Amino acid sequence: MRSAICVLSLGIILLLGATGFAFAADTPAVGTAAPDFSLESQEGNVSLKDYRGKWVVVYFYPKDQTTGCTIEAHNFQRDQPLYLQRNAVVLGVSVDTVESHKAFCAKEGLNFKLLADTEHKVVKEYGSTMNYKGVEIAARNTFIVDPEGKIVRVYTNVDPNKHSTEVLAALDELQKHK
């Protein structure tokens, strides 16, 4: 049995290495205070503390104008009225520049905030870094932060096709217990 686990673990390590991906560990735990941040968006400076009293969906994504990231952003955009009904805001974070975010929002019709973490500080604080072919980018992770500023749900390596629907369902469940 131990041998089978070792072989499986080695296989996963080799698979990740073969794809060119390496992931960071240590995402903040559910029940802990969400690390505060202040970053520039396509519309100006945004701080997590500005949203106290609201539910906040902080989603990290690899790169503007790539297939998976565009799908995920479109789904969050499509569902903006549903987030508003749940007293929730969506904040996207990548290591792209503000200029890249502006172009992405203009091209894709996005009106929620995308935050530029060009110094990679916030992606590291949230354990959401990934190396792709030697370049550090944001891993596709999401954190739901409650109105008091605590992390109440963590998603890692999300599926961009269904993630917004998944987050909305989690908000419904979490809000029933508040």
User: 6 an active-site residue?
Assistant: no
Q: Give the E-state strand segments of 48-150 in sequence order.
A: 55-60, 88-94, 113-116, 129-132, 135-138, 142-145
Of the residues 69, 73, 139, 167, only one is catalytic, namely 69
The burial class, CB within 10 Å (0-12 / 13-18 / 19+), for 15 is: exposed
CA 140/CA 101 separation, integer angstroms: 17
What is the identity of the amino acid at 127? G
Q: Mind telling me the catalytic residues? A: 69
